[in-house]
Every structure is written in structure tokens, then in C-alpha cells.
Structure 1
Amino acid sequence: MDFNVVISYIPTYVDAFLLTVKIGWIGIAFSLVIGILSAFIMHFKIPVLSQIVAVYIELFRNTPLLVQLFFIYFGLPKIGIVISAGTCGAVGLGLLGGSYMAEVFRSGLEGVSISQTESSLALGFSKTQMFIYVILPQAFSKSVPGIVANVIFLLKETSVFSAISLMDLMFRAKDLIGLYYNTTEALFLLVIFYVIMLLPVSFLGSVIEKKVVSING
């Protein structure tokens, strides 16, 4: 291990790290929006839309992100839709994550006791008020562990972005290895930067989960 090489590589990795984090969190935000909307559609069994969402969830949960990225980045231009590698990464991650988040939110909604809804209606809540003030907070708290697990999973999935020539952490590592053959140093920094990206999320998620459990308890 040549630490002079490691130090010289750090600025390059920092740039790749910032890009990876940016696109990763944009994709995660996108997945949360898709997941919430999909969960509502499935929970309330909206005609036609619920069938479309069910197909979407099964399709994206059962195909690798790499295949989805290839389809978006290389396939869509065949029909005239051209998007940048960064946009492709965020959209692909959002669509994959949305299929997982939808199931998490749906299980949270279905986990709210019927007695809660009956009690709120008996107290004079309208259905809208009941949903906003009674069902949603409880459903969200029940969904927190699944959300945290999916966020970590999606951040790790950013490692396939390099396949569409996005200059993320993995791309930088492979590029430096190919140019200078400093494999140990390049992989060491790759691991370090992924730990820097994931460890705070894991820690914060554990804290939030404990608070939610204590509140629910």
C-alpha cells in the first residue's frame, strides 16, 4: 500500500463521491414520491391504475438495476428519447426504489388498526382528516425501518452507474486501476468513500428507528 498514491487520488475520489451522493439522493427522493403515490393507488384499489402499478412493481422488483439503466440509456434513444447519464442514473434508481418503497408504504398503511379508523370517525373526523391526522402518521412510523433499509440498498446500487459511463466512485476506481495499475490503493479508497457515504445513513436510521419504536411503544 503506497499512501502517497492514496493521498494523490483523494481529490479525484471526492469529485466522484459528490456526484454519486447527489445522483443517489435525487433518485431516492424520486423513489419516495413514486412509492407513496403507488402505495395509495394500491391501498385504495383505484381501478386500472392499481393494475398498472402492480405490473410496474413486479417488473422493477424482478429486474436488475443494470438492465433498467441499459434500457433507459441505450434503448430509449432508439425511439428519440435521449437523456444524460446523470439523469438516467437518477431516473433508474428512482424507478427501482419506487417499486420497493411502494410495498413498504403499502404495508404501513395496511398495518394501521381498523379500530383506529373507527374511533376517529366516531369522534367526528371526516375521511380526509382521518387519513391525514390518524392513518398517515401511523403508517409512516411503521414504514420507517423499511424506508431506512431501502435507502441504504439504493445507495449501494449506485455502484452500477459506471456501466453507463457516469463518473461515479466505481468508474473512478476502475479508471485509475486501468491507467496506473494501483489496484490496492484504488480499491482501498473506494471502500473508504462508500463507508463514508453509508455509515452516517445507517447510524441515523438506527436512531430514528429507536425513536419511532419508543413512541409507538
Structure 2
Amino acid sequence: MIALLVRDLRLAMRAGGGFGLGLAFFLIVVTLVPFGVGPQSELLARIASGILWLGALLACLLSLDRILALDWEDGSLDLLATAPLPMEAIVSIKALAHWLTTGLPLVLFAPVFGLLLSLPEPGYMPLVLSLLLGTPALSVIGTFGAALTVGLKRGGLLLSLLVLPLYVPTLIFGAEMARRGVEGLDITTPLLMLAGITCGTIALLPFASAAVLKVNLR
């Protein structure tokens, strides 16, 4: 399992998968927002949490088609399917690799990008915590979408259409948690909802992804 994780991390760095690409896109979104809505600090502070969460979601979406596509193209996915390792574990490792190369960098750099949007000081900790809780769900859901569209030519658009509706609950509660943190309100309810969504996706979706992959590999 560790060898497979290391392999996927190396592929992400070599093939330009998610490593660096998500951060670059996140930075572009954060940089362009003040040009679109105006440079007023009060306005930016009001919308900063939502913009940062939306940017993180779209950044994760960029590299989803590479989670399984490279293994499908070189035949590695067929070999992995015949390995002693259960397909559910393989899918979980790939989701973890995607989060480590895409989600985790976004969590670490979110405070820096928050400065560019004049995010109030009380909002930094809830923002980072919401991203830390929510981005694993984005990777697991994205892996499920990648399993559904693996092998399809130009399936990137279809993947986005399938995954985006599933991302909405995570986006709602993640942004709400960050917003409440900015306003000094209690964040317990969105935090529990976000944690529940993430735990539910991690517990259930690897089995669904594995079942879909087995059908596609027949």
C-alpha cells in the first residue's frame, strides 16, 4: 500500500497532475477576484471565505481526470485489479494521493491567500479547519467520479458535470463554517455537518468506486 501511494505521488509530480497546478489555479482565482468586484477591503472581507472555498473546490476539480486515467492508459489499472490488494484499498490510496498533492497544499496556503482577500483575523483558523475537514471529501468524491468516467475519451467535462452536484453540500457547510468564524459566531453546527459528510464519503464511496471500476474493467 505504501509503495502504491509513493508511486502515485511521484506520478502526480512528474506528470503535472495536481501538484502545483491546483495552487497556481487557486492563486489566479484569488488574484482576479479584486479586479472583478473591486478593491474595497470591506467587500472583499465579506466574500473572502466563500471565494476561498470556491477556489479550493475548482482547484481540486482540475486534476480529477488524472487520478485513474494514467493507470488506464498504460495498463496498470488491469494489473492492480488482479493484485492481492482489494480494489477498495487501491481506490482509497489514490484518493489519499490526490488529497496530499492537491488538497493539503491548498489547506497550507489558504492563510496566505486569505491575506490577498483581506480576510479578517478571526476567520483564519475556521477557514483552515474547514478546508482540512472538507478537502478529503472532495478527493474521495472526485475519485468516484473518475472511476465512473475512466476509459471514456474526453471524459473530463462529463466528470465535472457528475462531480459538481456532489460537491455542493461540502461547499455549503465549508463556506458557512468559515463565514461564521469571520463573524465570531458558533461554528459547531457546520463543523459537525462537514465532518459527517467527510466521514460518510470516506466510509462509503470507496466501495462504490471499486464496484464501478470492476464493471469498467470487464
Where on the TM-score scale, by shorter chain, does this alignment land: which range? 0.3 to 0.5
Q: TM-score, normalised by structure 2?
A: 0.40
Rg larger for: 1
